[in-house]
Structure 1
Amino acid sequence: MASSEASRYLSVAGRQVALDPEGYLVDLSDWSQDVAQALAAEEGMCLEAEHWEVIEVLRTFYQRFESAPPMRPLVKFIGQQLGADKGRSIYLMTLFPGSPAKRAARLAGLPKPANCL
């Protein structure tokens, strides 16, 4: 599923992965854990177990609802899947500073969430 034209490429494990102007995957099937780590490294992030837990929940959300969730539905879904202590905006902001819904979706290889600027 292509979201738009590639504006740049990320080199991952000897292959070129196309990214759109905002850094999201052009072809969602290009996603892998190596791609996620390369995207995170571009942002100066190192993905730890807590990040992977959220990334997997996001990918589950996308498989179920065919969209990447904006912040409120993301927080609610994380709470349902991982428990109330992790289903909080502040928790997600510590893991994915700035715009957690956008940043986590990008790292999970999903399209930009609707209603996120």
Structure 2
Amino acid sequence: MKTLKLVLCALALSAGSLLHAAPGNSPEISDSFKKEIQDLLKNIEIEIEEEVVANLVVSFNEDNEMQVLYVGTEHTLAGKLIKKHLNNKKIKTVLDSSVKKYKLPIRLKP
């Protein structure tokens, strides 16, 4: 019985820490911000045979420069290139300063 309680306690702690580490729901992202991301990724040089989907989590510093926190994709090369093309890039769109992280999907087509 003690073992069962210990296992349940460990499971509850790990599930809680996973939920805490996951990025929260991102607010609505403006079309101008999406367009800027598209423009930054327009000239990415990568040869892919099928569409690559990546989940991007970014934050912004005081100078409105994008800090890429996470690129979730199964295609590691695409993830590295997305981070390289977006990290520390300044954007013109004014975003809500109270929001700490923005989450958006990225699709690269062949």
TM-score range, shorter chain: under 0.3
TM-score normalised by the chain length of structure 1: 0.26
Q: Which has the higher strand share?
A: 2
Q: Which is bigger in relative contact order (C-alpha 8 A, separation at least 6)?
A: 2
Which has more radius of gyration? 2
TM-score normalised by the chain length of structure 2: 0.27
